[in-house]
Amino acid sequence: MSTGKLAIRTVYFSMLGNVLLAGIKFLAGFFGNSFALIADGIESLVDVFSSILVLFGLQYAQRPADENHPYGHGKAEALITFMVVGFLILSAATIAFQAIQNIREPHPAPENWTLWILGAIILWKEISYQIVLSRSKKLHSTSLKAEAWHHRSDAITSVAAFIGILIAVIGGEGFEVADDYAALFASGFILYNCYLIFRPALGEVMDENNYEELTKEIRKIASTVPGIKGTEKCFIRKAGMKYHVDLHASVDGDLSVKKGHDIAHDLKDTLKLELPELGHILIHIEPF
């Protein structure tokens, strides 16, 4: 299965899970008198819309290079990530506003059985996080990483809701607001995750060259190619699930232009074979 298809299947997995969980959380929160659960449901519903954006971004990023986009359309994935972060900020603000309103107004304590619902939700979201994060690392996808963090943030907001409801149930009268404070904490954690998601995507758009491990691997592979005496500059830019490389390689200065050209092609082909995640590779030959 291609990397693009695997990424898209992963997003469908997230979407289906979030649709089901949003419904469960809304129903359990409404009938169980828990705003923390309703807040959790709001986040899951927002995650569904953000998953739709991620799906669109991944599909658009798979478009091949053309005359106007010689490096492909991979940057669309990072731009979509910015929109996903916007949705998360909106959900955090909505949850915080409603939680503050609820703290000011008396309301019934949550039902005991909502704790069982939350326990199952926490387990499922953590499993989902591990699955999607593993796929994001395998495919080098920032938008899938954002999708994974949606699951992790959902799991932790569910933990906060669990603690809030537990305090409200055990404490009894006067402790009902613990549920709402849990929702308020959840909104703050969502905002923190927004930064964690936003920063790598910004670096991708700004072409930050901070891929030290990949650079070392490229230099190591280059040293095995016959005719390559060493490597100098190595610049890497990420676009979607591909890394574009500009590499300066040294060869014997007495070689003909054709021979140097052939060695450069051998190096490019070797890098493509050993590192399938590489996209456009530009080799600049230097005399050793």
Residues 62 and 189 in one domain: yes
Residues 147 and 272 in one domain: no
Does residue 263 contact residue 253 with C-beta atoms inside 8 Å? Answer: no
Rounded to an integer, what distance in angstroms lies between the CA atom of residue 61 and that of residue 54?
A: 10
Residues 39 and 55 in one domain: yes
Please report, as a single letter, which amino acid is at residue 112: N
Residues 106 and 199 in one domain: yes
What phi, psi does 64 have (nearest 5°)? -70, 165
pLDDT in tens, the chain (288 residues): 566 677 778 878 888 888 888 888 888 888 887 776 777 777 777 777 777 777 777 777 777 777 888 777 777 777 887 887 887 788 788 878 878 887 887 667 777 888 888 888 889 888 888 888 888 877 777 677 777 877 777 787 778 778 887 888 787 777 878 877 877 887 887 788 788 778 888 888 888 888 888 899 999 999 999 999 989 999 998 887 788 999 999 999 888 999 989 999 999 999 999 988 888 899 999 998
Residues 166 and 219 in one domain: no
User: For residue 150, which of 59, 42, 238, 77 has the smallest C-alpha distance?
Assistant: 42
Residues 232 and 277 in one domain: yes
Pull the structure tokens for residue 250: 């040294």
User: pTM score > 0.85 for this model?
Assistant: no
Which domain range does residue 253 map to? 212-287
